Amino acid sequence: MLESFWILLLFPLAGAAVNGLCGKRLPHKLIGLIACGAVLASFLVAALAFVELTGRAADDRLVTVSLFTWIEAGEFVSRAAFLFDPLSAVMILIVTGVGFLIHVYSIGYMHGEDGYYRYFSYLNLFIFMMSLLVLGDNFLVMFVGWEGVGLCSYLLIGYYFKERFAGDAAKKAFVVNRVGDFAFLLGLFLIFREFGSITYLDAFQSVQSSYPGMETGFGILSLITLLLFIGATGKSAQTPLYVWLPDAMAGPTPVSALIHAATMVTAGVYMIARCSPLYSRAPETLLIVAVVGAATALLAALIAIGQRDIKKVLAYSTVSQLGYMFVACGVGAYAAGIFHLMTHAFFKALLFLGSGSVILAMHHQQNIFKMGGLKKYLPYTWGVMLVATLAIAGVPGLSGFFSKDEILWQAFSSPQGHPLIWALGVAVAGLTAFYMFRMLFLTFHGQERIEMGHHDDSHGEDDHSHHDAKPQEPGWSVRGPLGVLAVLSVLGGLVGLPAWLASTNQLHHFLEPSFHYQFVPEAHGEHSHALEMGLAGVTTLIGLMGIFVAYTAYLRRPHLPEQVSQRLSGLYRLIRQKFLVDEAYDAVIIRPTHWLSKNVLWKVFDDGVIDGAVNGTATVVQIWAQQLRKIQNGYVRSYATWILLGTALLFAYFSYFAA
């Protein structure tokens, strides 16, 4: 099974093709079955391959399969080849596993929507592209997946394409991603120029031989890694390119869960982990990665506090958590980043899906200030959401605690880390706990402010909804995946227990071979377990404080937030308006470019200068011709005169000058 792991790519592709081409004529049940079956098959293949991989010796855990030569031009060769190693194994399990759960969830969530087949076709295509991304054995195949998931994201964000905002959001996501891809491409070009190959293993080998140690100063390696990282900021929604992700919530909620929380947005983290041999040698870039990650985490957490839309809160929370993962990568703790990626995939998918079932129950009402007290109507959803919220808030014992704590510990102790980054991380942990519980309390607790959504008819689901009905728990296909994810959110942390709890961190151990080429300065020696435990305690404390503040502000004294916001109205408004980043981009980049293109380049330069010159030449010729044609005046005698003059001049020329 291990050697033919690549067949797992075929199932979702086939599913997408079948549903896309003839889904219109298929019954809905069959469509869902095909889509879920395809992903399940992929997951099973991945799991079998994974099991087989663990059976091998640690340094033998690497399989590559080359299907055909894709592009070949001189020394430049890119094969359609795939790589299965611990890193891609973990990733593919997350992708297909969580992906499968969300597919199942979608059957219930999307029930009765227009273009049901279209949705599942896109979703399967996404799984295929994401698999390409994580399984590719060279940068170009990864880039196919990288852009492919972007496309699926575009299609799925724009799923409700009748709404203007959906189209806007979809386009924005694609374009912002393209900005990142621009840098990513330049990074690829540079890799080929420097290392003569875009295959991971060859390129890394070449790096290892030419850079035995770290690069000093900002050199080529730093430039490559920086360019790749800019690509990652686009895909993984980091500063300054995070702006598309909150808007991307225009898509259906399962899509937000799958693409914009669990899998696609983590592609940047995967990419950095995959390129760890490059990043580990470029300390300058690592610093930038860590700082950008920390800054994004803080910024997004602050914005999340002021959001009123349940999905927007989660979106900014995702941006913030991704910041954590980049902090991990930035301090050289790739395994910790992947660990958090995994746990985050569980609890954030759970949160999104939970919010999805709230939204479904509320008939597409997404404003948390119009909910409240939902606990009694949706106890099951409340339960799983609570688990997830506790996990993300970093309450000890749950998955989020272990992964977040490991990142913070690494940020503190790793040679690339710095206490300042750690402090930022801890502050963000507090903020996270606060805004997540704010959301939870406002939604499920407190007084009822229920105001059902007026679901637009065009969404096509309203036939059987009753606006005055009480919110109801959704069906099994929605609740099933929620349960599984809740279990994973609780237990997911066990694969990566910290050193003060277990002798080996299993995930680290497993991922080790993937970072084989990494240049790792192991320097944990001087720090004791006691310090690690102590720091974890501090984080936990801060997190609990955040929960307490949220409890005070939104349950015990509901007027407090209003008072605070009045006291700090400037800051509050700034947070509410998301620091005006979108508006700034609009004013500084988009509008001037548009204005310049329209009024200067097109109207003035193209139509005026160039065409003006062309038409001007024609006009000048025409003016002269107008004058000259007067010679053709119709008088024979005048013509005779001209002929005579011409002949005379010719004779004169020949007898005086030519002779």
Partner 1 sequence: MVPTSHYLILGAILFAIGSFGVIFRRNAITMFMCVEIMLNAVNLTLVAYSRSFNQVDGQIFVIFVMVVAAAEAAVGLALIVLLNKRRGTLDVDQIDTMRW
Partner 2 sequence: MELVVFYLFAALAVVTALVVVFVQRAVYGALSLIVCFAAIAGLFVQMEAKFLGAIQIIVYAGAIMVLFLFVIMLLDPQKEIFVGRKPALLIYASPLVIFFGYVLLRALLDAPQPAQGSLAERGAIREVAHALFQDYLLPFELTGILILVAVLGAMVLTKRRPAETE
Partner 3 sequence: MFDGYLLSLILALPALGAAVLAFLPAENRSLLRNVALAACLAAFAASLLLWTGFDPSTSNMQFVEDHAWFELGGFQARYALGIDGISLFLVLLTTLIMPLCILASTHIKKHLKAYLCSMLALQVGMMGVFIALDLVLFYLFWEVMLIPMYMLIGVWGGQRRIYAAIKFFLYTAAGSLLMLAALITLYQYNVTPNFNIVEITGALSDGRISIPEGTAYWLFLAFFLAFAIKVPLFPFHTWLPDAHVEAPTAGSVILAGVLLKMGTYGLLRFCLPLFPEIALQMEPTISCLAIIAIIYGALVAMVQPDVKKLVAYSSVSHMGLIVLGIFAFNLQALEGATFQMLNHGISTGGLFLLVGMIYDRRHTRLIEDFGGLAQVMPRYAVFFMIITLSSIGLPGLNGFVGEYLTLQGTFLANPVYAAFAATGVILSAVYMLWMYQRVFLGKITGEANRQLADLNLREMAVLMPLVLLALWMGVQSSQFLRPMDASIQKVVDRIEQAREPQSFRVENLGR
Name the residue among 295, 300, 305, 311 with its Cα closest to residue 261: 311
Q: Using CB under 8 A, pick the residue from 25, 164, 567, 629 that binds partner 1.
A: 629
State the Cα angle at 163 between 160 and 164, rounded to 5°: 130
655 binds, among partner 1, partner 3, partner 2, none (CB under 5 to 8 A by kind): partner 2
Q: 60 vs 72, which CB is nearer to partner 3?
A: 72
Site for partner 3 in 222-261 (CB under 8 A): none
Q: Using CB under 8 A, pick the residue from 76, 369, 579, 653 that binds partner 3.
A: 76
**HSE (side-chain half, CA atoms, 13 Å) at 268:** 40
By CB under 8 A, tell whether 530 contacts partner 1.
Answer: no
Cβ 637 to partner 2, closest distance in Å?
6
645 binds, among partner 1, partner 3, partner 2, none (CB under 5 to 8 A by kind): partner 2
The answer to whether the CB of 440 falls within 8 A of the CB of 358 is no
427 binds, among partner 3, partner 2, partner 1, none (CB under 5 to 8 A by kind): none
For 175-202, give the DSSP string: HHHHHHHHHHHHHHHHHHHHHS--BHHH
Q: Is the dihedral of CA 630, 634, 635, 641 positive or negative?
A: positive
The answer to whether the CB of 34 falls within 8 A of the CB of 163 is no
By CB under 8 A, tell whether 632 contacts partner 1.
Answer: yes
Cβ 616 to partner 1, closest distance in Å?
23
630 binds, among partner 2, partner 3, partner 1, none (CB under 5 to 8 A by kind): partner 1
By CB under 8 A, tell whether 656 contacts partner 1.
Answer: no
Give the list of residues 6+ apart from residue 494 with CB closer than 8 angstroms, or none.
399, 402
- Tell me how crowded residue 39 is: count the other CB atoms within 10 A of its CB: 31
By CB under 8 A, tell whether 655 contacts partner 1.
Answer: no
By CB under 8 A, tell whether 466 contacts partner 1.
Answer: no
71 binds, among partner 1, partner 3, partner 2, none (CB under 5 to 8 A by kind): partner 3
Q: 566 vs 633, which CB is nearer to partner 1?
A: 633
Q: Using CB under 8 A, pick the residue from 27, 637, 656, 658 that binds partner 1.
A: 637
By CB under 8 A, tell whether 538 contacts partner 3.
Answer: no
Name the residue among 162, 91, 159 with its Cα closest to residue 122: 159
Give the list of residues 6+ apart from residue 207 with CB closer than 8 angstroms, or none.
195, 221, 277, 278, 281, 517
Cβ 653 to partner 1, closest distance in Å?
18
**In 3-state terms, what secondary structure has residue 114?**
coil
Tokens of 74: 């001189």
Cβ 322 to partner 3, closest distance in Å?
22
Cis peptide before 240, with omega less than 30 degrees from 0? yes
- What is the biggest distance separating any 2 CA atoms in the chain, rounded to whole angstroms? 118
Name the residue among 380, 205, 420, 387 with its Cα closest to residue 293: 420
Query: Among all chains, which residue has been given the structure tokens 């259906």?
Result: 252
Q: Which stretch binds partner 3 (CB under 8 A): 157-165, 370-378, 474-482, 563-571?
A: 157-165
Q: 567 vs 637, which CB is nearer to partner 1?
A: 637
- Cα Rg, the chain, nearest whole Å: 31
What's the CA gap between 206 and 517, in Å, rounded? 10
Site for partner 3 in 118-147 (CB under 8 A): 140, 143-144, 146-147
Helix (H) or strand (E) holding 73: strand 63-73
Q: Going residue by residue from 175 to 204, which x/- string records binding to partner 3, judged by CB under 8 A?
A: x--xx-xx--xx-xxx-xx-----------
By CB under 8 A, tell whether 640 contacts partner 1.
Answer: yes
Q: Using CB under 8 A, pick the residue from 209, 216, 566, 633 that binds partner 1.
A: 633
**In 3-state terms, what secondary structure has residue 64?**
strand
By CB under 8 A, tell whether 634 contacts partner 1.
Answer: yes
What's the CA gap between 79 and 70, in Å, rounded? 5
Q: 470 vs 598, which CB is nearer to partner 3?
A: 598
What's the CA gap between 266 and 98, in Å, rounded? 13
Rounded to 5 degrees, φ, ψ at 60 are -110, 5
532 binds, among partner 3, partner 1, partner 2, none (CB under 5 to 8 A by kind): none
By CB under 8 A, tell whether 380 contacts partner 3.
Answer: no
Q: Going residue by residue from 590 to 629, which x/- string records binding to partner 3, judged by CB under 8 A?
A: ---xx-xxx--xx---x---xx--x---x-----------
With CB under 8 A, what is the number of residues at the site for partner 3? Answer: 52
Provide the β-strand partners of residue 309. 367
Rounded to 5 degrees, φ, ψ at 305 are -60, -35
What's the CA gap between 179 and 585, in Å, rounded? 13
Q: Which stretch binds partner 3 (CB under 8 A): 39-47, 174-182, 518-526, 538-546?
A: 174-182
By CB under 8 A, tell whether 25 contacts partner 3.
Answer: no
Tokens of 522: 């192991």
By CB under 8 A, tell whether 68 contacts partner 1.
Answer: no
By CB under 8 A, tell whether 460 contacts partner 3.
Answer: no
Q: Using CB under 8 A, pick the residue from 636, 656, 658, 659 that binds partner 1.
A: 636
The answer to whether the CB of 350 falls within 8 A of the CB of 485 is yes
By CB under 8 A, tell whether 476 contacts partner 3.
Answer: no
Give the list of residues 6+ apart from residue 328 with CB closer than 8 angstroms, or none.
293, 334, 336, 337, 340, 406, 407, 410, 411
By CB under 8 A, tell whether 170 contacts partner 3.
Answer: yes
- Tell me how crowded residue 531 is: count the other CB atoms within 10 A of its CB: 14
Cβ 650 to partner 2, closest distance in Å?
9
Binding-site ranges for partner 1 (CB under 8 A) = 629-630, 632-637, 640-641, 644
Binding-site ranges for partner 3 (CB under 8 A) = 68-74, 76, 80, 140, 143-144, 146-148, 151, 154, 158, 161-164, 166-168, 170-171, 174-175, 178-179, 181-182, 185-186, 188-190, 192-193, 593-594, 596-598, 601-602, 606, 610-611, 614, 618
